[in-house]
Amino acid sequence: MQIDPAVIGSTSEAVLMEVEKGAIRAFAHAIGDENPLFTDEAYAREHGYSSLVAPPTFPTTFRVPIPQVKFELSRVLHGGQEYSYTRPIVAGDVLRCVNQVLDVYEREGKQGGKMTFLVTRVKGEDLDGQLVFTSTSTIILR
């Protein structure tokens, strides 16, 4: 196994992520979603938001280290991603993000050889400690 299962339960240091309007607009353009909630601040305000709303997959841009795990990026496959929200992320938010290793396991690949699966969860809270989102990610090391 490429990753020691003893890392399960490990938690990263908190990382503060400041959500900026330009980053939201750039991400929306990059994914081809021109929803005016993501690109037009006046429109977002007319619909009850304090500023631009981040697209649902926006936390993908947050770089929160995986605790106690090192691997070669050229050996990584994206296995899956899930997001859950208690409220939308909006420009101006400052989120305290922590990454936790949920699971490490091994499976035999269809073409032979073992693959290691690493499941992590990032929790993002506002500065009042209120949960805003969770992101669960599975990566495969071949």
Tell me the average pLDDT of the chain.
94
CA angle (93, 14, 136) in 5-degree steps: 80
pLDDT value of position 111: 79
The answer to whether residue 125 scores a pLDDT higher than 90 is yes
Provide the residue range defining the domain that includes 77. 5-141
Looking up residue 49, the CATH number of its domain turns out to be 3.10.129.10
pLDDT value of position 105: 95
Q: What is the DSSP letter of 123?
A: E
Using CA of residue 12, residue 65, residue 95, residue 85, what is the dihedral sign? negative
Strand intervals (E) in 22-113: 76-85, 94-108
Q: Left (φ > 0), alpha (ψ -120 to 50) or beta: where does 69 sit? A: beta
Domains held by the chain: number: 1
Is residue 1 very low, low, confident or very high in pLDDT (cuts 50, 70, 90)? low
Is residue 68 very low, low, confident or very high in pLDDT (cuts 50, 70, 90)? confident
Is residue 108 very low, low, confident or very high in pLDDT (cuts 50, 70, 90)? confident
Q: What is the pTM of this model?
A: 0.90
